[in-house]
Amino acid sequence: MLILSRELRRFRGPDLGLIFQEPMTRLNPLMRIEQHFAETLKQHEPGLKDKEIRRRSLETLGKMGIPPTRFNQYPHEFSGGMRQRIMIALALVLRPKLLIADEPTTSLDVIVEAQILSILADLRRDFGTALLLITHNLGIVAEACDRVAVMYAGQIVEEGDARDVFSEPAHPYTRELLRSTISLDTTELHSIPGAPPNLITPPPGCRFHPRCPDAMSVCATTFPPQEDLGGRRRVFCWLHTSDERVGPVDREPLEREELAVAEEA
């Protein structure tokens, strides 16, 4: 485990950066912002001089819109949006090739959310950094991502170019998610019936079948194979596969009673 930990630490920072979901739980309240940057840079670039550490830190913070006058302050002296910018700067100061952002706009108002999205777009353009965004906010995905992978209960059910997935969702879960999104054109609320499964004892077959409006008999017993839809799109759904091993009986719709039993289980 120790060897594995050291191997992972070699990649973290220069190759892989991470923006956490809640910056206040990741920034040490007893350390000034200056100390956070010094600790990060000295850990991965031990030969760096203090002058260069300060220059790199201030330069990166400046790109996030944080002035040098705030460099010696503590995390509690910043707003939520400013703390999130500091987290982004901490991840970028090592110039990573890949940046993973875990719900980067959670608990932020829409104005700050738009600012963070603008910053992430600038990072991709100016630094050439690849961005992996983990979020439940489909609006952010549509605005910030080129490709999208839709997951349900720990399994990818659909993947493809964001524009294609949003315009023509192939998996019922993707379709239901998009129907549940609120917009200016929304006239009534829509929700997916049921609840997410227990991942310790997930349902057999397709994990979405207890809640799926298009569930068939085969969905309750066998996880669907990957089906390529063209254009770098793939989906895992029996609705889109022509597997000859699946007969007409297997494709019969599940009765609502069966779905209710599966959901209770």
* 152 lies in the same domain as 259: yes
Distance of alpha carbon 206 from alpha carbon 213, whole angstroms: 13
Higher pLDDT, 15 or 133: 133
Query: What are the b/e assignments for 191-202, b being 16+ CB within 10 Å?
Result: ebeeeebeeeee
Helix (H, G, I), strand (E, B) or coil at 39: helix
* 16 lies in the same domain as 124: yes
* 108 lies in the same domain as 176: no
Please count the structural domains in the chain: 2
Whether the per-residue pLDDT at 86 is higher than 50: the answer is yes
* 131 lies in the same domain as 177: no
Each residue of 87-130: pLDDT tens digit? Answer: 888 888 888 888 888 887 776 777 777 877 887 787 778 777 88
Whether the per-residue pLDDT at 1 is higher than 50: the answer is no
Sheet holding 16-19, edge to edge: 16-19, 98-102, 130-134
Q: Using alpha carbons, select from 146, 153, 50, 43 the residue that is nearest to residue 90.
A: 43
What is the predicted pLDDT for the residue at 212? 93
Distance of alpha carbon 109 from alpha carbon 170, whole angstroms: 32
Q: Could you list the residue range(s) of the whole structural domain that residue 54 is in?
A: 9-145
Alpha-carbon dihedral sign for residues 228, 232, 236, 240: negative
What is the predicted pLDDT for the residue at 50? 92
Q: Using alpha carbons, select from 47, 31, 44 the residue that is nearest to residue 91.
A: 44
* 153 lies in the same domain as 114: no
Each residue of 55-83: pLDDT tens digit? Answer: 999 998 998 889 999 999 999 999 888 88
What is the predicted pLDDT for the residue at 258? 47
Highest mean pLDDT among 59-63, 165-169, 244-248, 261-265 belongs to 165-169
Distance of alpha carbon 129 from alpha carbon 110, whole angstroms: 24
* 128 lies in the same domain as 166: no
**pLDDT, average across residues 145-154:** 93
What is the predicted pLDDT for the residue at 207? 94
Each residue of 155-214: pLDDT tens digit? Answer: 999 999 999 999 999 999 999 999 888 877 888 888 898 888 999 999 999 999 999 999
Distance of alpha carbon 104 from alpha carbon 116, whole angstroms: 8
Eight-class DSSP state of 208: T
